[in-house]
Structure 1
Amino acid sequence: MSQQQAPILWLNVLIFSITGLIALFLVPYHALTQGFDSVEIIATILCLGYCGMSITVGYHRLWAHKTYQAHPIIKFVLALGGAFALQNSILHWASDHRNHHRFVDNNDKDPYSAKRGFWFSHIGWMLREYQGQSYRNYANCKDLQKDKIVMWQHKNYLWLTLSLNFGIPILLGWLNDDIYGMLLSAGVLRLVLSHHFTFFINSLAHIWGKQTFSEEHTARDNPVLAFLTYGEGYHNFHHTFEYDYRNGIRWYDFDPSKWFIKTASLCGLTWGLREAPEERIEAAKAKYKMEKIRAKLIKLPHKAEMLAKVEAEYDLLTKRMNAFYKTRKRYLDIKRKKITRTVEHSELFNQIKDLQAEMHDLKQRFLIQKKTFNNLALAYS
């Protein structure tokens, strides 16, 4: 359905307009004239975190991408938080998001294609009925329709959103003896910030940042957005390896959603955490760099000699990378073997010892070659 013909979704327009205007004018006015006390500020931050994490940990990584499995208690808490965040039901949200990944950057099929501009991908796609009836049967979410908690939330979404978005701030305000102030802060301001922080992933995360793993989509990695979105800002990685429960793969990447899922797994509340193999991640990074170098060198005179040099280094990198990861797999497979007899124990011990030495040598060669290739890529970029 074209942008001109799509009917306006007046309920969405009213919700975004009214809450936005209250956050823009009434909240600052109340802050200047009455002030918000520490309880209201803390409550707003905690409610904002609960909404945000329910979307990232629940709607996104658990239900839309099935990157891990969770205990019903975790799923129930996340389903409530998703209704509190007022971003549609799990089923509807996941259906839109799966289509976004399947048809990313396709202006006709990607529900919030970044190639249609910042406004459209950020909020415009929700102001008109661009999708028509194409997603109403949720054909791409047959698995979620078997999830009792997902369907319970979907069928009861309206009363859940109303009771949570009014009930929680009113209860907190009653406990703090200031219902109006809490409605403004933990109610409206929290909702508006939660909305737009999430919307940044559809808009800014496809415009602002670096492409590290792939240029086949507009998604970008941005640590600033990761801070605002509980780890979702490493978007180029996510679109390249969408089945990984992590977005920030390095230990120092700010990804509280990853930390929550991992911590919950240690308590037995989540399991089956899926990760992209390290060798695939390294291969994707090297391939992307090679493609960037090739695209630049192809435009230069005397390109043949330079291209030959770079491609030779890339081939060597690939060989050493594969050799290291292949040896490491053998090493880990042998370590996992059950030892039943002393003779076998001795043989396995010797194999492990030999493989450790071989693996160490291959890793050093791989890292040296990786540095050589990266320096070459930097010189030609």
Structure 2
Amino acid sequence: MGTDSPKIAIWWSNTIFFAATHVFAVWGAIYWRPIHAVPTQSLVLALLVWQLADFGITIGYHRLYSHRAFRAKFAVRVVLAALGSAGFQGSIKWWCLRHRLHHRFTDSIHDPYAATRGLFYSHMGWIFYKPTYERMELVDREDLDSDPVVRFQHKHYVPLALFFGFVLPTLLGTLWNDASGAFVWGGLVARLAIWHCTFLVNSLAHWDGLQPYSDEDTSRGNFLLALLTGGEGSHNFQHSFPHDWRSGPHLWNWDPSKWIIFLLNRLGLVSGLRSVREEDLKEAMQYMHFKETHGVPPAEDDTSWEGEAWDLVRAHDFIKLKPGSCLVVIDDYFVNVTPYLGEHPGGAALLRKYSVRPQQEFIEASWAFDGGLNNHSRSARRRMREFRVARFQR
């Protein structure tokens, strides 16, 4: 007697809303309010809605909240939450948790929109199925739960999205006597533009483009994508150094989002801009250049150690001498990650969870570091080795 195969549950509310929006947008733009029959103001409104909502996603949902690449004043967070709501991509909390899961387990079965499951699935196929995220509980969310803007937007997301996404564009259209045209173009058509340009980051940016920083996952850089997404084109850089406030580190990288963040920083509205170290950036590029021209470089020796060997007593003495320090155990080494607490993409609280503490049991971080909690990159492993202080003598 055979066993039943697991059934895939369709997410009907998502599917119906997604399909209906496409149908009405196409019908409205072709038959009801075609482009030649609407005032220029309605078309400009559609462009503005698309771009502003896009910045709400790229600057707010992505760089500020998902990767904590900078800090923002309350007013800026409110504006970004409103703009992101107009994007109709879920609440900040909903979006960020899935994006953090995507970065931790890129291309694996735990990736919500894994490119390894096909171009259509990574683009929008994942939207149609009710998810079962087995490792979602491993994703940190304390920062999201503690932010009043995130909590308010998450609780009232549906009315906020409907207002900023559909009602407000329609009301603005009454200013030039074209409420219906503003609804079709500023509400429906702009919605498709926002959706599919964002979805291209999950699909096209993992299928076609350059990999100048790493080839450890499918992420790629694509200039066309940068033009369509407010600067999210250097996706290979973003996966290699997710905590950076820029999508592209160079002046020639098209990234309006980083220019806006820079301006807000100069105005004192955002602070704490986090950037990859220049030496890490150069090393990554040199490694990939060598690999492309000469083949895979020799593996770095990860076993040689000429430093000290500590037991737990010695480790506890170190912590007592330096209160507040964060000492973790990774692959039989004591690693002093204290200088890295402010840079860690997963946040300081996650590192302190594995910290060695006097007179307390501790959890070794090896499982978490070696793929259990995050698929760490070669660059991250190199950085970790810099913080080793002693071999663990058990």
Shorter chain as denominator, the TM-score bin is 0.7 to 0.9
Select which of 101, 104, 113 maps to 1:102. Answer: 104
Residue segments in structure 2 that go unaligned for 5+ positions in a row? 299-394
- 1:223 corresponds to: 223
How do 1:60-71 and structure 2 match up within 5 A? 60-71=62-73
Deviation, structure 1 residue 163: 2.0
Whether the 8 Å CA contact 1:58–1:78 is kept in 2: the answer is: yes
Bigger radius of gyration: 1
- 2:252 corresponds to: 252
Deviation, structure 1 residue 82: 1.1
- 1:152 corresponds to: 152
TM-aligned CA distance change 1:133 to 1:170, over 3 Å:
farther
Deviation, structure 1 residue 232: 0.4
State the Cα deviation string for residues 20-46 of structure 1 (Å, max 9, x = none). 122223202345486121110111111
Instruction: Give the whole-Å Cα distance in 1 for the aligned partners of 2:236 and 2:139.
Output: 27
Instruction: Give the whole-Å Cα distance in 1 for the aligned partners of 2:192 and 2:199.
Output: 11
**SS, match of residue 143 in structure 1:** helix
- 2:79 corresponds to: 77
TM-aligned CA distance change 1:26 to 1:57, over 3 Å:
same
Deviation, structure 1 residue 131: 2.3
Instruction: Give the whole-Å Cα distance in 2 for the aligned partners of 1:246 and 1:182.
Output: 33
Higher-helix-fraction structure: 1
- 2:122 corresponds to: 121
Deviation, structure 1 residue 65: 0.0
With the length of structure 2 as denominator, give the TM-score of the two structures.
0.71
**SS, match of residue 170 in structure 2:** helix
Amino acid in the other structure paired with 1:269? L
Deviation, structure 1 residue 295: 3.3
Cα RMSD (Å): 2.2
Whether the 8 Å CA contact 1:111–1:131 is kept in 2: the answer is: no
- 2:10 corresponds to: 8
How do 1:176-215 and structure 2 match up within 5 A? 176-215=176-215
Whether the 8 Å CA contact 2:29–2:35 is kept in 1: the answer is: no
Whether the 8 Å CA contact 2:110–2:135 is kept in 1: the answer is: no
Instruction: Give the whole-Å Cα distance in 2 for the aligned partners of 1:133 and 1:209.
Output: 31
With the length of structure 1 as denominator, give the TM-score of the two structures.
0.74
Instruction: Give the whole-Å Cα distance in 2 for the aligned partners of 1:258 and 1:178.
Output: 34
**SS, match of residue 218 in structure 2:** coil
Whether the 8 Å CA contact 2:60–2:77 is kept in 1: the answer is: yes
Instruction: Give the whole-Å Cα distance in 2 for the aligned partners of 1:32 and 1:140.
Output: 46
TM-aligned CA distance change 1:152 to 1:209, over 3 Å:
same
- 1:49 corresponds to: 51
**SS, match of residue 11 in structure 1:** helix
Identity of aligned residues (%): 36
Q: May I ask how many residue pairs the two structures share in their alignment? A: 296
Amino acid in the other structure paired with 1:260? I
Amino acid in the other structure paired with 1:129? K
State the Cα deviation string for residues 33-92 of structure 1 (Å, max 9, x = none). 861211101111111111000000000000000000001111000001111111000001
Whether the 8 Å CA contact 2:101–2:139 is kept in 1: the answer is: no
State the Cα deviation string for residues 206-229 of structure 1 (Å, max 9, x = none). 001111110001000011100000
Instruction: Give the whole-Å Cα distance in 1 for the aligned partners of 2:115 and 2:153.
Output: 29
Instruction: Give the whole-Å Cα distance in 2 for the aligned partners of 1:65 and 1:184.
Output: 34
Residue segments in structure 1 that go unaligned for 5+ positions in a row? 297-306, 309-381
TM-aligned CA distance change 1:133 to 1:89, over 3 Å:
farther
Instruction: Give the whole-Å Cα distance in 2 for the aligned partners of 1:246 and 1:4.
Output: 42
Instruction: Give the whole-Å Cα distance in 2 for the aligned partners of 1:167 and 1:205.
Output: 32
Amino acid in the other structure paired with 1:113? A
Deviation, structure 1 residue 132: 5.5
TM-aligned CA distance change 1:72 to 1:65, over 3 Å:
same
Amino acid in the other structure paired with 2:118? G
Amino acid in the other structure paired with 2:122? S
TM-aligned CA distance change 1:119 to 1:155, over 3 Å:
same
Instruction: Give the whole-Å Cα distance in 1 for the aligned partners of 2:206 and 2:66.
Output: 19
Instruction: Give the whole-Å Cα distance in 2 for the aligned partners of 1:30 and 1:226.
Output: 32
Instruction: Give the whole-Å Cα distance in 1 for the aligned partners of 2:122 and 2:62.
Output: 17
Whether the 8 Å CA contact 1:6–1:130 is kept in 2: the answer is: no
Amino acid in the other structure paired with 2:82? L
Deviation, structure 1 residue 4: 6.3
TM-aligned CA distance change 1:25 to 1:152, over 3 Å:
same
